[in-house]
Amino acid sequence: MNAFAQLNSRQAAHLKLIPRTAQQIVLVGTEAAHIGQAFKHLAPNCEQVRFPNMKRFKQHMETNPGVFAEMDAVIWVGQTYQRADLKTDLECLKTVLSENGVIILEILNPFYFGRLDDKVGAGVSYPEELIKGLFYKAKAYSQGLRTEIQDAGWRIEHIFRDNTGGFGEWLNTRKREHPSLSEILDQLDPVTKSQRFVFLLNEKSVPQLRIQAQVLKPIGGVNDVRITEPLAALSSIPGVLTDIRRVQTVVQGHLNLNKIFLWHRPVLTFEKSLSQIQSLRRAGYLIITEFDDHHSPWPEIAQNSFLSFAGVHAVQTTTPALGKMFEKLNSEVAVFPNQLSFLPDRDLSHPSEICRIFFGALNRQSDWQPILPEVNKILSSIKGNFWFDVVMDKNFFDALETNRKSFIPQCGYEDYKSHILNADISLMPLLDTEFNRMKSDLKLVEAAGHGAVPLASSVVYRQADPEEIFSKFCETPEQYAIGLKDLIEDKPRRLKMQNKGREYVRNSRLISDHVQDRYNWLLGLSERREELDQALSKRLKSILPR
C-alpha cells in the first residue's frame, strides 16, 4: 500500500523526482495521468493539470494566457527527441514555471540496443561499418541533446538512465563479432544501454545535500516513519541525495557538498562511539541525532553523559516535550511531528456492516490491562456486529473475552497499515506516565489518515483533536467501554468522524506539507557547520571522562 505499487519502474522513477514541496504541477504525455494519480496520494493538496502531449499544452497556453504561471514542475514523458522542436518547447516552459521550478523530461533513446536489434534482426551479426557509424551518431546525438537543453536556458541537474537488463550479453556478442572494436563498443555503454533518459532540469544551481542515515534493525514502522519516508520526501528536492544503511561509512573529501550524518536512535558510548564522532567531524560532516522517545529505557545514554545528544551538532525529535528535554543537553533541537507519507484511497460513503476494531502495539500491556475488564464486560451488551483485529500483541488478543477476533504476529509496516485501513475504530490506551507523555501522536495520525476513529487516552493524543471532531478520548476504563459501545452502535456518527479524520490528515499531517521545513533546517545547519562544530567541541570537553 504505497504510491509506487501500481506503477511500472519507469513511472515510479518519474514519481520519485516530483518535488514533494510542489503546489502546482503540469503533466504532459499519455502516461502522465498514472504518475499524477499516484502523486495525489503523496501530495493531495498539490494542484495538477494534465495534457496528452506538448502540442495540446501549448495550444492551451496560447488560448488561455496567464492561466499557467508559477508552476513548480512540468513532468513531460515519452518524448522522441526532435532537435527542431525541443529547444523551442523548453524555452516556452520558462514562461510557466516558478523561480525554483523544475522540468522532468523523459527522452526515448533511438540508440537503445534493443531497438537496434529490432532493425538489424535477432541473431544477425552487426556489420563493422554499422558499429563505427553507430558510435559517431550516438555521440553526436548525446551532445546535441545536451546542447539543445543548455541553449534553451536550462541546467541539467541530473540524468537518470534505466537498465532493462541484457546489455552485457549484447555487448559481449558484439565484441566476439568484432574484437578490434572493443574499445569503441565500451564507449557505447552510456548511450545504448538505456531505453530512455530522464533529465531533471532547473534554471539555477541549488545547494547539494548528501544525507547518510544510519538506522536500527527494522521493527514495525520505527524506521519508516522517522527515517525512510521523510528522507524519500527530502530526496525529491533537487540537490538532495539520501542513503539509508544499518552501517554507514565515512566518506572523505567532497568538501563542496553539505554532508550530513543522521544517527537514528543512537546509544553512544565514549568507548565505542567517540572515535566515530571525531572521524565524522574531521571529514566535514554535520552530525544529527534523530530520537523520538524518552531516553530512560537505555541507561547507557545517561551513563555516558548523554553523548547521544551532547556529542552531535544537532538533535531532531517528534514532540515539544522531548524537544525541551533535549535542549538541556544541546541547544540545536528541531521538532518535526510525525506525519503520514501516503494517503490511501478508502471508500467512506457508507458505514461498514461489521465494525472492525484495530489494536496494534508492542510493549503496551501496562496501558491496556486497566481498561480491558470493563471492555470485556460490555461486549455482550453491544447491539451490532463487530470484530477485533489484533496485530503484534498476543496477550491482548488472549485477554479479549470474545470469539469475534483475529490475530497476526509482528509484521512489516505496509501490512500493519493495511490492517488499519480495514478498521473503523482504533483502540489506543496510554497511561499517564513521564515516559508516555513524551510519546508522539503517530498512532492517532495513522488511524485518522486510514479512516479509523481513534478511541484513545487524553494523554498525548487530545492535543491533536481537542474538540473531539474525529476522535473519542477517555480518562477511565468505563469511558473506554462506553465509548467503544457508542461508536459501534452509532454508525452515522462513526462514519462522520472517520471522514473528518481523513480530512484532518489530508489538510495538515502529510509529509509533503512539511518537508520544506526539514530541508530549510538542514540547509541552515549546514551553512553554520563551523559555528556548530566549535560549540560541539566545547560540549565534548565538558563531558569527556577525566
The verdict on 47 and 131 lying in the same domain is: yes
Does 363 lie in the same domain as 334? no
d(CA 312, CA 31): 46
pLDDT at 277 over 60: yes
Residue 270 lies in a domain: yes
In this prediction, residue 220 carries a pLDDT of 64
Task: Report the pLDDT value the prediction gives residue 124, as an integer from 0 to 100.
Answer: 83
Same domain for 59 and 24? yes
pLDDT of residue 84: 66
- Quick check: 122 pLDDT over 80? no
d(CA 218, CA 360): 17
Q: Is residue 443 part of a domain?
A: yes
Phi, psi of 72 (to 5 degrees): -90, -20
Whether 415 and 369 map to the same domain: the answer is yes
CA dist., res. 64 & res. 348, Å (int): 37
* One domain, residues 185 and 251: no
**Can you give the pTM of this predicted structure?**
0.92
Mean pLDDT of the chain: 93
Residue 538: pLDDT band by 50, 70, 90 thresholds?
A: very high
- Let me know whether 164 and 313 are in one domain: no
Residue 1 predicted with pLDDT over 60 = no
- Which contiguous run of DSSP H or E holds residue 436? helix 434-437
Mean pLDDT of the 249-273 span: 93
162 and 84 inside one domain: yes
Where residue 2 falls among pLDDT bands split at 50, 70, 90?
A: low
Between 415 and 66, whose confidence is greater? 415
CA 310 to chain centroid, in Å, comes to 28
Phi and psi torsions of 156, nearest 5°: -90, 100
Instruction: Please state the domain count of the chain.
Output: 3
Q: Is residue 512 a part of any domain in this protein?
A: no
Distance (Å, whole) CA 493 – CA 351:
9
The residue out of 202, 230, 249 marking a domain boundary is 202
Residues 6+ away with beta carbon under 8 Å from 281? 287, 533, 536
pLDDT tops 70 at residue 476: yes
Residue 4 lies in a domain: no
Average pLDDT, integer, range 224-253: 95
Distances (CA, A) of 28 to 33, 84, 105: 8, 19, 10
Residue 347 within a domain: no
Higher pLDDT, 191 or 529: 529
- Of residues 64 and 221, more confidently modeled: 64
Asked if residue 521 and residue 502 are part of one domain, the reply reads: no
Backbone angles phi, psi at 364, to 5 degrees: -120, 20
Residue 202 scores a pLDDT above 70? yes
Residue 307 shares a structural domain with residue 428:
no
Residue 171 within any structural domain of the chain: yes
pLDDT of residue 462: 97
Is residue 65 pLDDT above 80, yes or no? no
| pLDDT given at position 200 | 96
Residue 63 pLDDT:
87
**Residue 13 reports pLDDT greater than 60:** yes
The domain spanning residue 536 has which CATH number? 3.40.50
Q: What is the CATH number of the domain that holds 400?
A: 3.40.50.2000
Residue 290 has a pLDDT of: 98
Same domain, 152 and 32: yes
Q: What pLDDT does residue 546 have?
A: 77
**Same domain assignment for residues 69 and 123:** yes
User: Domain range holding 453?
Assistant: 355-507
Task: Return the closest-CA partner of residue 385 out of 420, 352, 408.
Answer: 352
Mean local confidence (pLDDT), 52-74 = 88
Pick from 137, 170, 202: which residue ends a domain? 202
Same domain assignment for residues 26 and 167: yes
CATH number, domain at 59? 3.40.50.150
Residue 1 lies in a domain: no
Name the domain boundary from 202, 224, 254. 202
Using CA atoms, how far apart are residues 344 and 448, in angstroms rounded to an integer? 11
In a domain, 346, yes or no: no
For the ranges 30-44, 386-400, 420-434, 447-461, the lowest mean pLDDT is seen at 30-44
Check residue 165 and give left, alpha or beta (phi > 0: left; psi -120 to 50: alpha).
Answer: left
Mean pLDDT to the nearest integer, 415-424: 97
